[in-house]
Amino acid sequence: MITLTDSAAVKVRQLLTEEGADELALRVAVRPGGCSGFSYEMFFDGDIAADDTQQSYEEGAVKVVVDPASAQLLEGATLDYKDGLDQSGFAITNPNATRTCGCGQSFS
């Protein structure tokens, strides 16, 4: 299962509040594609399957769900959020990735 840093959880909560969609969960998935073989996908989702892995952050205010196939590839990964001059946005650090592309959005 992927872990969210405090800054990522706070940003996800902020985005959910801005969307007026507090009941949704953040779905993190791995899909085939990208220049290195797999790419990350993140979106808000209200359709949670029985076999999805779920985890809560921010005292339950942020829910993260991952499908079983993606969970294997995201085991031990961390989702962070940075807001600075040199870096801004979400980034996944994945110990399972043996190779990443230059854009940082795909891996193998």
Contact of 84 with 20, CB cutoff 8 Å: no
On whether the pTM is more than 0.85, the answer is no
Question: What is the gyration radius of the CA atoms in the chain, in angstroms?
Answer: 14
The pLDDT, as a whole number, for residue 36 is 57
Q: Return the higher-pLDDT residue of 3 and 37.
A: 3
Q: How many CB atoms lie within 10 A of CB 27?
A: 20
Chain-centroid distance of CA 40 in Å reads 8
- Model confidence band, residue 108 (pLDDT cutoffs 50, 70, 90): very low
Express each pLDDT in 31-47 by its tens digit: 887 565 788 899 999 99
Q: Is the dihedral of CA 79, 62, 66, 28 positive or negative?
A: negative
Q: Which two tokens stand for residue 12?
A: 């996800």
Domains of the chain: 3-107 (2.60.300.12)
The pLDDT, as a whole number, for residue 100 is 58
Q: Can you tell me the mean pLDDT for 100-108? A: 50
Express each pLDDT in 55-101 by its tens digit: 999 888 899 999 999 999 999 999 999 988 777 899 888 888 765 55
